[in-house]
Amino acid sequence: MIDFSIEPEFQAKLDWMQIFVREECETMDLLWPEMAANFETHRTDARRHLKPLQDQVKAQGLWACHLGPHLGGPGFGQVKLALMNEIIGRSNWAPTVFGTAAPDTGNAEILALFGTDEQKAKYLQPLMDGDIVSCFSMTEPQGGADPGEFTCRATRVKNEQGGDEWEIEGYKWFSSNAKLATFLLVIAVTDPDAPLTERMSMFIVPADTPGIDILRNVAIAGDVDRDNGHHAHIHYDKVRVPADHLLGEVGGGFKVAQARLGGGRIHHAMRTVGKCQRALDMMLERAVSRRTRGRTLGDHQMVQSKVADSIIQLEQFRLLVLKTAWLIDEVEAGRLPHGAARNHIGMCKVALASVYKDVVGRALEIHGSLGISLDMPLANWYGGHWSLAFADGPTDVHKSQLARAYMKKATPAPDLFPSEHVPTRTAEAKQRYPNARDDGK
C-alpha cells in the first residue's frame, strides 16, 4: 500500500521549517538577491549572516538531509525529503542554509561513494559544511548532454618520475559554478570504441590544476552581465591529474554520474512544488485583494478558472512526486527491484517544467503589470522555467525514454483490428453466451 504518512515528531520539524524558511531564508533572498549569490563563498557579509542559520538547522537535525546514514546524513528517505524540499523550494537561499544546494549535493554523494580517504578529507567535509563549492563538468559545446557526441578525452600518461597520470584534453560547456569551485568532477572519454555506457570515466580535478582555461562564463536570464555569468565554457588544455583521481572504474563514468542524477532530478521536482505553491499563494492573495469592474478579481470566472487549473495541476504534480519518492524508498528498502522508480523519475522531470511555467505564468498574469515588474519575484521565476527544462537532461529525451519504456510492455493487436474493437468483442461475447439476450439479438 502506498503510504505518505509521517510521525508527529517529523511533522513538528516541518512546521519549524515552514516558519524558519519564510522568516530567515526568504529574508536572505531579499538581502542578497543576485544570481548564484548563495554559491559565492567570498561574500563575507552573506556568509556571516548564513552561518548562524546553518547552526540552527544543524541543531534541529536537518542538515544535509539528502544523505543517508552511511554517508553521514540523517537518512530520512525520499518521502520525508519530498515534504522537506517542498518547503526548501520556496527560497533560493534555503538549499544553502540546509546544506542541500545542487550541484554540491550530488557531487558530495559521488565523493562519499567513490573518493579516496584523502579526497574525502580534503573536499567532502568542507563541501558538506558549505565552505567550498564544486562543479559538475559534463556537457560539451558540440553535443550538449548526448554522451555519444562527447569528444573531451582522458588518456593515461607517465609523469617525469615515471608515475601514472591522466591527461584531459577537450572542451566542456555550461559547467555551472566552475569559476567558484574548489574542484570539478569531469567526465571524459577514455575508450571511444567501447559501448556507449562504458566509453567514459569520471575524474576529480582540483580547480588550481594547470591547464584549466575558462574561456567564458556564460550568463542566463536573470544575470546582469552577459559576460560574467556562472556557466563556464572550459578548455581542458592537457590537464593532468594523478591516477587515483579517477572516480570509480575506467569506463564507469556513466554509472557514477547516474548515482547523482536520479536523486537530483527528483529533488528538482520536490523544490518545484514549493516554488509553485508560493506562486499559487500569491495568486490567491491577488485574487481576493485586487478589484476591477466593481468586483474582486476572484469574482471573475476567467480568474477562477486560472486559480482552479493551478490548484489541480499542482496537486497532481505533488502526488506524482510523492509517489515517486515512495517508489525510491521501496527500492532502497529492497521491497521493489532496482530501477522500479526510473519511469516515475522521468515523469517528474518531464512534468516539472510545464507545471512550473503554467502555475507561475498564471500568477504573473493575474498580477498584471506588477507581475512583469521586478517589484514581484514572478517575472524572474518565469524566466527560469527553461533552465528547469534543460537541467539534468533535455525534457524531450525523457519523454522519448518514457514512451519507449511503456511501449516495450505493449503487445501488438492479434488481428487486423485493435483488441478493443467493439464489433469483434461483441461477436466473441455472443459466441460465449448465445442465449444471454431475451430478444435473441
- Whether residue 28 contacts residue 50, with contact meaning beta carbons closer than 8 Å, is answered with yes
Q: How far apart are CA 235 and CA 174, in angstroms?
A: 12
Kind of pairing between the strands at 134-137 and 183-189: parallel
pLDDT at 262: 58
Which CATH superfamily hosts domain 255-409? Butyryl-CoA Dehydrogenase, subunit A, domain 3 (1.20.140.10)
Single-letter residue type at 295: R
Cβ neighbours of residue 261 closer than 8 Å, sequence gap 6 or more: 106, 392, 393
CATH of the domain spanning 134-251: 2.40.110.10
Question: Among candidates 18, 96, 83, 26, which has minimal Cα distance to 54?
Answer: 96
Cβ neighbours of residue 390 closer than 8 Å, sequence gap 6 or more: none
Give me 243's grid cell: 591516477
Domain locations in the chain as residue ranges: 8-101, 134-251, 255-409
Kind of pairing between the strands at 212-218 and 164-176: unpaired
**Helical axes 104-114 vs 253-289, angle rounded to 10°:** 150
Location of C-alpha cell 522537506? 84
User: In terms of pTM, does the model score above 0.85?
Assistant: yes
* DSSP-derived 3-state class of residue 134: strand
Q: What angle do CA 382, 388, 391 make, to 5 degrees?
A: 155
Block means of pLDDT (10 residues each) for the chain, 441 residues, are 90 97 97 90 93 96 82 82 95 94 86 88 86 94 92 95 95 96 97 95 97 95 82 97 95 84 75 96 98 96 98 97 94 91 92 95 97 95 82 83 96 94 95 88 73
pLDDT at 372: 95
Please tell me the chain's helix, strand, coil percentages from 3-state DSSP, rounded to the nearest 5: 55, 15, 30
pLDDT at 261: 61
Q: How far apart are CA 131 and CA 47, in angstroms?
A: 9
Task: Say if residue 192 is preceded by a cis peptide, omega within 30 of 0.
Answer: no
- Whether residue 82 contacts residue 270, with contact meaning beta carbons closer than 8 Å, is answered with yes
Cβ neighbours of residue 213 closer than 8 Å, sequence gap 6 or more: 234, 235, 236, 237
- How many residues are listed for the chain in this entry? 441
- Whether residue 251 contacts residue 199, with contact meaning beta carbons closer than 8 Å, is answered with yes
- Whether residue 343 contacts residue 259, with contact meaning beta carbons closer than 8 Å, is answered with no
Question: Among candidates 109, 92, 106, 118, which has minimal Cα distance to 40?
Answer: 92
Backbone angles phi, psi at 283, to 5 degrees: -60, -45
Cα dist from 415 to 420, 421, 425, whole Å = 11, 10, 12
